[in-house]
Structure 1
Amino acid sequence: MTGDKAGTVHDLRVGGRPLAPLLRARAPHLSRRVLAQMLSELPTYAQLPQEEVAGDIADIVQRSVRLFADVLERRRPADDAALTRQRESAAQRAEEGVPLDAILTAYHLGVAMIAEELTADARPGDLADVLEMQRHLLRTQRQLTSAVSGAYLEARQLIDSQEQGGRHALMAALLAGEPVPDRSGHHGALRPADRYVTLALFLAPHPDERERDRTPGTPGAPGTPGTPGSAIAARRKVRRVRAVLDRYAGQPVMTDLDATGGTALVPVATPPPWEELHQLIADCAESAGAPITAAATTTDPADPAAIPAAVTQNTDIVQLALRTGRRPGLYRLADVLLEYQLSRPGAARTELALLLAPLDHKPVLLKTLETYIHRDLDRTTTASALHVHPNTVAYRVRRITELTGLSPHRPTDLQHLNAALLARRCGP
Structure 2
Amino acid sequence: MTLSDRARVLALRCEPRVNELARHMARESFEQLPGYAGLPDDVKDLEIAATVRYGVRLFLRRVTEPHPGPGGLRLFRERAAQRAEEGMPLHLLLRSHALGVYVLWQLLRETAEPGEEDALIELVDLLLRSHHSLVGAVAETYMDERSALEAEQRERRRSLVRGFLDGTLEPGRALLEQLGLDGPALVLAVALEPSADAGEASGGEASGGAGPRGPEPGGPQPGNAVTVRRRMRRVQTVLDQAFGAELLFLFDAGAGRAVVPRGGEPPGDLAERLTRACGAEVRITAVAAATPEAVPEASRTAVEILRVARTCGLPPGLHVLDDVLLEFHLSRPGPSSHRIAALLDPVAGRPELLRTLRTHLAQHQDRRLTAAQLGLHPNTVDNRLARLTELTGLDPSSPRGAALAIAALLLRDTTAGPDGASAAG
Gaps of 5+ in 1: 39-44, 211-229
2:2 is the alignment partner of 1:11 = no
| DSSP-derived class of the 1:344 partner | coil
Query: What is residue 293 of structure 1 aligned with on the other side?
Result: 283
Give, in whole Å, the separation in 1 of the partners of 2:355 and 2:227: 38
8 Å Cα contact 1:373/1:418 also seen in 2: yes
| Change in CA separation of 1:95 and 1:81 when aligned onto 2, cut-off 3 Å | same
Name which of 322, 332, 335 aligns with 2:323.
Answer: 335
- Deviation of 1:126 after TM superposition, in Å, equals 5.0
2:267 is the alignment partner of 1:275 = yes
The one-letter amino acid paired with 2:302 is N
| Change in CA separation of 1:286 and 1:189 when aligned onto 2, cut-off 3 Å | farther
- Deviation of 1:395 after TM superposition, in Å, equals 8.2
2:124 is the alignment partner of 1:133 = yes
- Deviation of 1:161 after TM superposition, in Å, equals 3.6
Give, in whole Å, the separation in 1 of the partners of 2:74 and 2:349: 79
Give, in whole Å, the separation in 2 of the partners of 1:88 and 1:380: 73
| DSSP-derived class of the 1:326 partner | coil
Query: What is residue 422 of structure 1 aligned with on the other side?
Result: 406
| Change in CA separation of 1:374 and 1:232 when aligned onto 2, cut-off 3 Å | closer
Give, in whole Å, the separation in 1 of the partners of 2:117 and 2:195: 61
Deviations 1:76-123 (A, max 9, x none): 569969975884475245333x454x3564357547856997999999
8 Å Cα contact 2:193/2:281 also seen in 1: yes
2:253 is the alignment partner of 1:259 = yes
- Deviation of 1:133 after TM superposition, in Å, equals 2.9
The one-letter amino acid paired with 1:271 is G
The one-letter amino acid paired with 1:293 is R
The one-letter amino acid paired with 2:170 is P
Correspondences of 1:362-401 after superposition (within 5 Å): 384-385=372-373, 392=379
% identical equivalent positions: 20
| Change in CA separation of 1:361 and 1:204 when aligned onto 2, cut-off 3 Å | closer
2:311 is the alignment partner of 1:319 = no
8 Å Cα contact 1:383/1:389 also seen in 2: yes
Give, in whole Å, the separation in 1 of the partners of 2:49 and 2:171: 47
Give, in whole Å, the separation in 1 of the partners of 2:229 and 2:138: 32
8 Å Cα contact 2:77/2:141 also seen in 1: no
| DSSP-derived class of the 2:5 partner | coil
8 Å Cα contact 2:371/2:381 also seen in 1: no
- Deviation of 1:58 after TM superposition, in Å, equals 12
- The number of residue pairs the alignment matches comes to 374
The one-letter amino acid paired with 1:321 is A
2:228 is the alignment partner of 1:237 = yes
The one-letter amino acid paired with 2:263 is P
Gaps of 5+ in 2: 200-220, 413-425
| Change in CA separation of 1:240 and 1:386 when aligned onto 2, cut-off 3 Å | closer
- Deviation of 1:189 after TM superposition, in Å, equals 8.6
| DSSP-derived class of the 2:9 partner | coil
| Change in CA separation of 1:105 and 1:332 when aligned onto 2, cut-off 3 Å | farther
Give, in whole Å, the separation in 2 of the partners of 1:405 and 1:173: 42
Deviations 1:397-416 (A, max 9, x none): 9989x9999997xxxx6x66
Give, in whole Å, the separation in 2 of the partners of 1:254 and 1:183: 19
The one-letter amino acid paired with 2:4 is T
| Change in CA separation of 1:35 and 1:200 when aligned onto 2, cut-off 3 Å | same
Give, in whole Å, the separation in 2 of the partners of 1:142 and 1:337: 66
- Deviation of 1:334 after TM superposition, in Å, equals 2.1
8 Å Cα contact 1:317/1:333 also seen in 2: yes
Give, in whole Å, the separation in 2 of the partners of 1:95 and 1:206: 47
Query: What is residue 193 of structure 1 aligned with on the other side?
Result: 181
| Change in CA separation of 1:35 and 1:245 when aligned onto 2, cut-off 3 Å | farther
Query: What is residue 215 of structure 2 aligned with on the other side?
Result: none
Deviations 1:117-169 (A, max 9, x none): 79999999956753553334333453454356546745774685477447525
- Deviation of 1:394 after TM superposition, in Å, equals 11
Give, in whole Å, the separation in 1 of the partners of 2:309 and 2:287: 16
The one-letter amino acid paired with 2:187 is T
- Deviation of 1:321 after TM superposition, in Å, equals 1.9
- Deviation of 1:340 after TM superposition, in Å, equals 0.9
Give, in whole Å, the separation in 2 of the partners of 1:20 and 1:252: 58
| Change in CA separation of 1:397 and 1:178 when aligned onto 2, cut-off 3 Å | closer
Query: What is residue 176 of structure 1 aligned with on the other side?
Result: 167
**TM-score, length basis structure 1:** 0.57
RMSD of aligned Cα (Å): 6.3
| DSSP-derived class of the 1:274 partner | coil
- Deviation of 1:336 after TM superposition, in Å, equals 1.6
* Larger RCO, structures 1/2 (Cα 8 Å, 6+ apart): 2
Deviations 1:156-186 (A, max 9, x none): 74685477447525642553365333237xx
| DSSP-derived class of the 1:183 partner | helix
Name which of 2, 6, 29 aligns with 2:4.
Answer: 2
Query: What is residue 106 of structure 1 aligned with on the other side?
Result: 95
| DSSP-derived class of the 1:297 partner | strand
Give, in whole Å, the separation in 1 of the partners of 2:385 and 2:144: 72
Give, in whole Å, the separation in 1 of the partners of 2:351 and 2:230: 41
8 Å Cα contact 2:188/2:285 also seen in 1: yes
**TM-score, length basis structure 2:** 0.57
